[in-house]
Amino acid sequence: MLKDAWTLAIETLSWIELQRLGERLALNKATKKLRIKDYKAVGLAHKLVSETLRRKNLIDFLLNSVMAPKSLNDLKLGPRAFLRLYTYETKLANGNLDHSTKIARMGRSILGWWDLKDAEEVLGEILSIDHEAALKGLEETEKIGLQTYNSTWFVKYCFKLLGRAEALKFLEKSTEIPPVYVRLNTLKAPEETLLKKIEAEKTVLEKVQPLKHTYRLNETKKPLTRTNSFIHGLFYIQDKASCLAAEIADPQPGNTVLDLCAAPGAKTTYLAQLMENKGRIVSVDYSERRMGVWERETERMGVNIAESMVADARKPLPINVPSDLVILDPPCTSTGTFGKTPDAKWRLTKRSILGMAKIQSEMIDLCAEYVKEGGFLVYSTCSITLEENELVIGNFLKLHPEFKPASTKPRIGLPGLRGLTKCQRLYPHIHDCNGFFVAKLQKEKT
């Protein structure tokens, strides 16, 4: 099992670097290619990859320090991936000499002695480096970036946005895996019945107030997705910030709802639940692959009022959908989810934020024409940046004076910035969930 897990982890990291794939997509691709079916091996590989990616900048810094004047880039993908995994496991996670010898031996059996020969010397040297001493003399934000596993530019951005003290708390929290939350599906049964069935599988949940159906996972005997409760759609694994956005939207039974960027289905399935499966939801996403997941999820959760459409939300839709509610959760930089998706932070640059904000502005402008008079537009992202949130909303309100900010209830987040106090901001270090922004706007009647 251990060798399968390491083989899979090496292959996954190689795919991520070669094709800039997301962690989960790369893991799935590698699993299929290597035909590994042991879920324990896949689970261990996922942990190795995720925790290595979380610390990638520090790992690369340490490896390049001991390899100088050569660098990691001089190695092939396989040895490069193995050295990163080896450094995480032996230097940052375990530190046991016998364990490091065993891992080195396993690396040789996976990659072959010849492919690993240029890295052999590094295997011993990396164990002896004092990484705290290696950081001495660095400029403050660079040092903090390495200590909290974030890019220097992002550290500077957070200092400017949040202030130094608050930014340090946020950055340090991003080094941790966030809690897991689930949303009970009352389309299947009353909440008390659902809880009994879920708890019968030795899954321990804790209610999250003041949200309606959200629970924090405290304990489980096996992966949630392998429980009968999950398979039969009794719950959806969904962060509490995402659940909050759906409750703020507050769709009513009988409403017509347009759900943009709908895949993989978290929003659609909760909207349908809040609507008691009465009304109409039109769910739009540009990705056929992701909408395939949406189809499976809506079926699993017992949703029968939603219809899917593959389309680009930056362009006029092929049908006219006058809606009581339009909800938009556009692509974003995911700066609020680095604890959960650490691979995302290494694909970003300062320019990424502006590029995303442009796409988000195009999408929300298109939303305006689909909202009925008196109807609502809800906009949310899992990013903490000003450019993707308050600046998008502020520019939209200037271009569309018929829209006004509406109250967002329930209220568990902090007020939005730039005077948009009815909006809500959530932060991992304060709210113990993904970083998040949500705004609710109402179209006034003429």
pLDDT, tens digit (0-9, with 9 covering 90-100), for 358-399: 999 999 999 999 999 999 999 999 999 999 999 999 999 999
Query: Mean per-residue pLDDT for 248-272?
Result: 97
Pairing of strands 214-219, 280-285: unpaired
**How many Å from the N-terminal Cα to the C-terminal Cα in the chain?**
66
Whole-number Å distance between alpha carbons of 86 and 123? 8
Whole-number Å distance between alpha carbons of 159 and 153? 10
- As a whole number, the mean pLDDT across the chain is 94
Alpha-carbon torsion 294, 257, 273, 244, what sign?
positive
Confidence band of 107 (pLDDT split at 50, 70, 90):
confident
User: Closest by alpha carbon to 23, among 437, 355, 338?
Assistant: 338
Residue 97 clears pLDDT 70, i.e. is over it: no
Residue 229 clears pLDDT 90, i.e. is over it: yes
Query: Mean per-residue pLDDT for 60-66?
Result: 93
Token couple for 102: 């065993």
pTM, two decimals, is 0.93
Query: Mean per-residue pLDDT for 284-294?
Result: 94
Give domain 2-134's CATH number out of 3.40.50.620, 1.10.940.10, 2.60.40.10, 3.40.228.10. 1.10.940.10
Residue 216 clears pLDDT 70, i.e. is over it: yes
Query: Mean per-residue pLDDT for 142-152?
Result: 96
| 430-442 per-position pLDDT tens digit | 999 999 999 999 9
pLDDT of residue 96: 66
Within 8 A by CB and 6+ apart from 263, the residues are: 283, 285, 287, 290, 291, 293, 294
Confidence band of 121 (pLDDT split at 50, 70, 90):
confident
Token couple for 371: 């909202």
Confidence band of 128 (pLDDT split at 50, 70, 90):
confident
Between 131 and 237, where is the model more confident?
237
User: Closest by alpha carbon to 235, among 200, 269, 260?
Assistant: 269
b/e per residue 195-204 (b: at least 16 CB within 10 A): bebbeebebe
Confidence band of 25 (pLDDT split at 50, 70, 90):
confident
Whole-number Å distance between alpha carbons of 336 and 343? 13
Token couple for 63: 């490896």
In the chain, list all ranges with CATH 1.10.940.10.
Answer: 2-134
Token couple for 357: 């904000």
In the chain, list all ranges with CATH 3.40.50.150.
Answer: 241-443
Longest dimension (CA), the chain: 75
Catalytic pick from 332, 382, 423, 433?
382
Query: Exposure of 161 by Cβ count < 10 A (0-12 exposed, 13-18 middle, 19+ buried)?
Result: middle
| 270-285 per-position pLDDT tens digit | 999 999 999 999 999 9
Whole-number Å distance between alpha carbons of 177 and 412? 21
R_g over Cα of the chain: 23
User: Closest by alpha carbon to 336, among 244, 261, 223?
Assistant: 244
User: Taking the mean position of all CA atoms in its chain, how far away is CA 403?
Assistant: 30
Tell me whether residue 382 is one of the annotated catalytic residues.
Answer: yes
For residue 330, whether the previous peptide bond is cis, meaning omega lies within 30 degrees of 0, is no
Query: Mean per-residue pLDDT for 228-236?
Result: 97
In the chain, list all ranges with CATH 3.30.70.1170.
Answer: 181-237
Residue 93 clears pLDDT 80, i.e. is over it: yes
State the CATH class of domain 181-237: alpha beta
User: Closest by alpha carbon to 381, among 364, 402, 397, 399?
Assistant: 364
H or E segment to which residue 404 belongs: strand 403-405
Percent of the chain scoring above 70 in pLDDT: 99
Whole-number Å distance between alpha carbons of 26 and 30? 6
CATH superfamily of 241-443: Vaccinia Virus protein VP39 (3.40.50.150)
Instruction: Give me the residues paired with residue 206 across strands.
Output: 216
Residue 169 clears pLDDT 80, i.e. is over it: yes
pLDDT of residue 446: 73
Alpha-carbon torsion 115, 116, 117, 122, what sign?
positive
User: Taking the mean position of all CA atoms in its chain, how far away is CA 200?
Assistant: 29
pLDDT of residue 95: 64
Instruction: Give me the residues paired with residue 442 across strands.
Output: 376, 404
